[in-house]
Amino acid sequence: MEVSSITQSNSQDDQTKEPLVLSVAEACLVLRISKASLYQLINSRQLETIRIGRRRLIPVAAIKHLLGQLAREDIA
């Protein structure tokens, strides 16, 4: 398979798939919380992040994991 065909198929799939990571601003919008609240979650290690260069990114999987934990705590 050629690189160009991989790139073309990935660009078509990217339009229908959710992103793997979100920026801090995007995560705030998704969670509907302030930037300060998001950084509290990050600093308390409740929310996993990754750094690429100077950018801090939040994996969508980490957000889903956090929401699952919070839901379980709410039930208990």
The answer, as to whether pTM is greater than 0.85, is no
Cβ 25 vs Cβ 57: under 8 Å: no
Which of 30-46 are b and which e, b meaning 16 or more Cβ less than 10 Å from the residue's Cβ? ebeeeeeebeebbeeee
Supply the pLDDT for residue 14.
59
Supply the pLDDT for residue 12.
58
From first to last of its 76 residues, what are the pLDDT tens digits of the chain? 454 544 455 555 556 688 999 999 999 999 999 999 999 999 999 999 999 999 999 999 999 999 999 999 988 7
Of 41, 43, 49, 50, nearest to 70 (Cα)?
41
